[in-house]
Amino acid sequence: MQESQDWLAALPAWLWAGASLVPCAYLGRLTYHTREVRAGRRRFWSADLILDIPTAAGMALVGYGVTDYLQLSGPASAAMTGVLGYLGPRGVEVLAGWWVRRRQPPRAEA
């Protein structure tokens, strides 16, 4: 029973984090979208702009987890979430792969 009370006690903090971090992640996605428009790969008023909303929401969740892990709060949390929103899922995947490869010991050539 204690676990359900802990979850319920944390719910307002999660809702506040979601309400504050989703716009930050969407601004990051909007910056990326604008860059793609300038490069001629997208039109500004297109379905891509709408489809970036779920991406921003997902990146806000990732940002919440990362900033919680790094114990960031306030503007640092918003900035980290904006950067993650800009990178998007593919950018985060590439960054995480680079980080994991960097942490692995070098392979011995046979």
Round to whole Å and give the CA distance between 82 and 49. 16
Q: Which percentage of the chain shows pLDDT scores above 70?
A: 94
The stretch 32-57 carries a mean pLDDT of: 90
pLDDT tens profile 73-98: 889 999 999 999 999 999 988 988 89
Indicate whether 34 belongs to any domain.
Answer: yes
- 41 residue type, one letter: R
End-to-end C-alpha distance for the chain, whole angstroms: 56
Range of the domain at 47: 17-103
**Is 100's pLDDT higher than 50?**
yes
Domain count, the chain: 1
Indicate whether 91 belongs to any domain.
Answer: yes
Q: In this structure, what token pair is assigned to residue 84? A: 């993650």
Q: What is the model's pTM? A: 0.74
Indicate whether 2 belongs to any domain.
Answer: no
61-90 core/surface letters (b: 16 or more CB in 10 A; e: else): bbbbebbeeeebeeeebbebbbbbbbbbee
- 6 residue type, one letter: D
